[in-house]
A and B are shown apart, each in its own frame.
Chain A
Amino acid sequence: MMQRGMNERIRRLREQSENTPPRLSLERADLETDVYIKYEGTVSVPELRALTLKHVMENKALCINDGELIVGEKGDGPQSAPTFPELCCHTLEDMHVMNDRELISFKVSESDLKLQKEKIIPYWQNRSIRHKILEAVTPKWKECYESGIFTEFMEQRGPGHTVGSENIFLKGFLERKEEIRQAMEALDFIQDKEALAKKEQLSAMSICCDAIMILGRRYADYARELAAKEPDETRRAELLQIAANCDVVPAHRPQTYWQAIQMYWFVHLCVTTELNPWDSYSPGRLDQHLNPFYQKDTAEGILDDEKAKELLECLWIKFNNQPAPPKVGITLKESGTYTDFANINTGGITPNGEDGVNPVSYLILDCMDEMRLLQPSSNVQISRKTPQKFLKRACEISRQGWGQPAFYNTEEIIQELLNAGKTIEDARKGGTSGCVETGAFGNEAYILTGYFNLPKILELTLNNGYDPVAKKQLGLQLGYAEDFHSFEELLEAYKKQIRYFVEIKVEGSNLIESIYAKYMPAPFLSIITNDCIKKGKDYNAGGARYNTSYLQGVGIGTITDSLSAIKCHVFEKQDLDMPRLMKALHANFEGYEEVRHLLLNESPKYGNDDDYADEIMREVFQYYRDCVTGRPNMRGGQYRVNMLPTTCHVYFGEVMEASPDGRLAHKPVSEGISPVQGSDTNGPTAVIRSAAKMDHISTGGTLLNQKLTPSSVAGEKGLNHMADLIRAYFNLDGHHIQFNVVDRKVLLEAQKHPEEYKDLIVRVAGYSDHFRNLSRALQDEIIDRTEQAI
Chain B
Amino acid sequence: MNHTYHINIQKFSIHDGNGIRTTVFFKGCPLSCAWCHNPESQRFHRELMFDEERCTGCGSCIAACPQQAVFRAESGKAATDRTKCTACGLCVSRCFYHARSVVGTEIPVPELVRQLVRDRMFYEVSGGGVTLSGGEVMAQDMNYIQQLVKALHEEDISVDIDTCGDAPYENFQRVLPYADTFLYDLKAVTPQIHLEYTGRDNKRIIENLQRLSRDGAKINLRVPVIPGVNDGEEETQGMIALIRDSGVRLTQVNLLPYHRVGADKNIRLGRADCREFEPPAAEKMEQLKNRWQGAGISPVFIGG
Q: A residues touching B (Cβ–Cβ < 8 Å)?
A: 593-594, 596-597, 601-602, 609, 682-686, 688-689, 712, 717-718, 720-721, 724-725, 727-728, 731-732, 788, 790
Contacts and interface: CB of A to CB of B under 8 A. Distances in A.
Contacts of A731: 121, 125
B214 interface: no
B20 A725 contact: yes
Contacts of A683: 10-12
B203 interface: no
A685 B96 contact: no
Contacts of B124: 728
Q: Which of B11, B12, B22, B128 has the most CB of A within 10 A?
A: B12
**B contact patch SS:** mixed
A732 B121 contact: yes
The 4 closest A-B pairs by CB, nearest first: A724-B126, A683-B12, A597-B96, A683-B11
A684 B118 contact: no
B125 A724 contact: yes
B53 to A, nearest CB: 17
Contacts of B126: 720-721, 724, 728
A593 B96 contact: yes
Given A596-B96, A728-B125, 10 more contacts: A593-B96, A594-B96, A682-B11, A683-B11, A685-B22, A689-B119, A717-B14, A725-B122, A732-B121, A790-B13
Contacts of B125: 724, 727-728, 731
Contacts of B19: 720, 724
Contacts of A597: 96
Contacts of A685: 11-12, 20, 22, 119, 122
Given A720-B126, A724-B20, A728-B126, A686 B121 contact: no
Contacts of B93: 602
A684 B122 CA distance: 11
A724 B122 contact: yes
B260 interface: no
Interface in B1-58: 10-15, 19-20, 22
Contacts of A790: 10, 12-15
Interface in B85-135: 93, 96, 98, 118-119, 121-122, 124-126, 128
17 contacts: A596-B96, A602-B93, A609-B118, A683-B11, A684-B12, A685-B22, A688-B122, A689-B118, A689-B119, A718-B14, A720-B126, A721-B14, A721-B20, A724-B122, A725-B20, A731-B125, A790-B14
Contacts of A609: 118
Contact of A728 (B11, B15, B122): B122
Nearest to B58: A593
Contacts of A717: 14
Contacts of B10: 683, 790
Contacts of A601: 96, 98
A609 B121 CA distance: 13
A788 B128 CA distance: 19
B16 to A, nearest CB: 10
A334 B121 CA distance: 36
A707 to B, nearest CB: 13
A602 B93 CA distance: 8
Contacts of A682: 11
Nearest to B127: A724
Interface string B63-99: 0000000000000000000000000000001001010
A721 B16 CA distance: 13
Q: Which of A682, A684, A685, A717 has the most CB of B within 10 A?
A: A685
Nearest to B121: A728
A615 to B, nearest CB: 15
A267 B246 CA distance: 73
Nearest to B126: A724
A596 B97 CA distance: 11
A727 to B, nearest CB: 5
Interface in B230-253: none
Q: Which of A597, A684, A728 has the most CB of B within 10 A?
A: A728
Nearest to A712: B14
Q: Which of A602, A609, A717 has the most CB of B within 10 A?
A: A717
Q: Which of A593, A721, A724 has the most CB of B within 10 A?
A: A724
B239 to A, nearest CB: 24
Contacts of B119: 685, 689
Nearest to B96: A597
A727 B123 CA distance: 11
B102 to A, nearest CB: 15
A788 B122 contact: no
A721 B18 CA distance: 10
A601 B93 CA distance: 9
A788 B14 CA distance: 12
Contacts of B122: 685, 688, 724-725, 728
A728 B121 CA distance: 6
A720 B125 CA distance: 10
Contacts of B15: 790
Nearest to B95: A597
Nearest to A720: B126
Nearest to A713: B14
Contacts of A689: 118-119, 121
B23 to A, nearest CB: 10
A686 B119 CA distance: 8
Contacts of B118: 609, 689
B301 to A, nearest CB: 9
Contacts of A721: 12, 14, 20, 126
A601 B92 CA distance: 11
A569 to B, nearest CB: 13
A250 B124 CA distance: 50
Q: Which of A594, A596, A602, A721 has the most CB of B within 10 A?
A: A721
A298 B70 CA distance: 78
Contacts of A718: 14
Q: Which of B14, B19, B98, B118 has the most CB of A within 10 A?
A: B14
B58 to A, nearest CB: 9
Contacts of A596: 96
A721 B21 CA distance: 10
A691 B292 CA distance: 44
Nearest to A731: B121
Contacts of A688: 122
A684 B13 CA distance: 10
A684 B14 CA distance: 12
A568 to B, nearest CB: 14
Nearest to B20: A724
Nearest to B16: A790
Contacts of A684: 12
Interface string B143-164: 0000000000000000000000
Contacts of A728: 20, 121-122, 124-126
A788 B121 contact: no
A747 B19 CA distance: 29
B101 to A, nearest CB: 12
A384 to B, nearest CB: 11
A682 to B, nearest CB: 5
Q: Which of A593, A712, A790 has the most CB of B within 10 A?
A: A790
B147 to A, nearest CB: 23
A475 to B, nearest CB: 33
Q: Which of A597, A684, A712, A788 has the most CB of B within 10 A?
A: A597
A686 B12 CA distance: 9
B287 to A, nearest CB: 20
B57 to A, nearest CB: 14
Given A689-B118, A689-B119, A731-B125, A788 B12 contact: yes
A529 B45 CA distance: 70
B82 to A, nearest CB: 25
Nearest to A596: B96
Contacts of B12: 683-685, 712, 721, 725, 788, 790
A539 B154 CA distance: 58
Contacts of B96: 593-594, 596-597, 601
Nearest to A714: B303
